[in-house]
Amino acid sequence: MTDTDNNSLPERKRGSGVKMVYAILRDEILDLVLPPGSPIDEVQLAERFKLSRTPIREALVRLAGEGLIDTLPNRSTMVSNIDFLNLHTFFEALVLMYRVTTRLAAQNHRPEDLSAIRGFHEDYAAAVQSRDALAMIATNAAFHAAIAEAGRNPYFTGLFRRLLDEGRRILRLYYQSYEEQFPQRFVDEHAEIIAAIEARDVEAADRLGKAHAEQIVEQVQKLFTRNNKLEIDL
């Protein structure tokens, strides 16, 4: 965990350091390369990225702002835990944002939005075909983020992106233990959603978005209860 990618170019532009550290750390957290509770050591990161502690620190402040890491004053910093006890609040917010963003996309999308959405739709279908669970997680999130962007409400897309990030962590946690997969059904639902958006059928988009979200939540909850049962059985 100490020396994974030291082969990065020693030539870096001024100001790119923070962004790079932020992006890499963010991905490692969301992909559970850094699992919840992992200690974050500034000095270690400074050595790894060959930077001083200052830009590392700035990246950490940003991550803390998004709730991805927790900082104990004067003491350690660690990757924030997933609050399993309050998962229902996460699902609650997720379902509503699925609904709202799909509805707004039907209302406000422009032609160019649809091609972006269709692109991610195809990526997702390909991931399902090849049974690549991690690709499914990523492309599904990208698909819905694109729909949210087409809805053109930055307040909603902001919250939704955060929820999708957190979902990426939760799903990854699950899929690393069990080789489950999203069913073909989700691909079909995505196609229906696209059709509703294109037809500017606001009510249908709302309904489909809600149903789709509830499907996903239900599946995740099913997987989790099974997961917990197995853990208890050990």
Partner DNA sequence: TGTATTTTTCTTGTCGACAAATAAAATACA
Partner DNA sequence: TGTATTTTATTTGTCGACAAGAAAAATACA
* DSSP annotation of 33: S
Which residues fall within 8 angstroms of residue 62, CB to CB, at 6 or more apart? Answer: 18, 22
One of 27, 50, 130, 158 touching its own copies (CB under 8 A): 158
Which of 12, 118, 152, 161 lies at the binding interface for its own copies (CB under 8 A)? 152
Regarding 70 and contact with its own copies (CB under 8 A), the answer is no
Q: Which residue has the tokens 């799903």?
A: 171
Instruction: Provide the 10 A C-beta neighbour count for residue 139.
Output: 21
Candidate residues 21, 100, 164, 194; the one interacting with its own copies per rule CB under 8 A: 100
Candidates 3, 10, 15, 179: give the one binding DNA (CB under 7 A).
Answer: 15
Residue 66 or 189: which CB sits closer to its own copies?
A: 66
- Give the residue, chosen from 27, 92, 188, 218, that forms a contact with its own copies under the rule CB under 8 A: 92
Residue 1 touches which of DNA, its own copies, none (CB < 5 to 8 A by kind)? none
Q: State yes or no: residue 154 binds its own copies (CB under 8 A).
A: yes
> What are the DSSP calls for 130-195, one per residue?
TT-HHHHHHHHHHHHHHHHHHHT-HHHHHHHHHHHHHHHHHHHHHHTTS-----HHHHHHHHHHHH
Residues 66-125 that bind DNA (CB under 7 A): 71, 73-77
Contact partner at residue 159 from its own copies, DNA, none, CB < 5 to 8 Å by partner kind:
its own copies
For DNA, the closer CB: 73 or 111:
73
CA atoms within 13 A on the CB side of 25: 34
Q: How far is the CB of 64 from DNA (least distance, A)?
A: 10
Query: What 8-state DSSP symbol labels residue 216?
Result: H
Stretch that binds its own copies, among 26-34, 92-100, 114-122, 212-220 (CB under 8 A): 92-100
| Among 1, 74, 85, 179, interactor with its own copies by CB under 8 A | 74
SS3 of residue 71 by DSSP: strand
**Residue 41 interacts with, from its own copies, DNA, none (CB under 5-8 Å by kind):** DNA
Q: What is the distance between the terminal CA atoms of the chain, rounded to a whole angstrom?
A: 29
- Positive or negative: CA dihedral 60, 63, 68, 74: positive
Cα separation values, 94 from 4, 124, 135, 156, Å? 34, 19, 20, 11
Q: Considering the rule CB under 7 A, would residue 38 count as an interface residue with DNA?
A: no
Residues near its own copies, by CB under 8 A: 14-15, 54, 57-58, 61-62, 65-66, 73-74, 86, 89-90, 92-93, 96, 100, 152-156, 158-159, 162-163
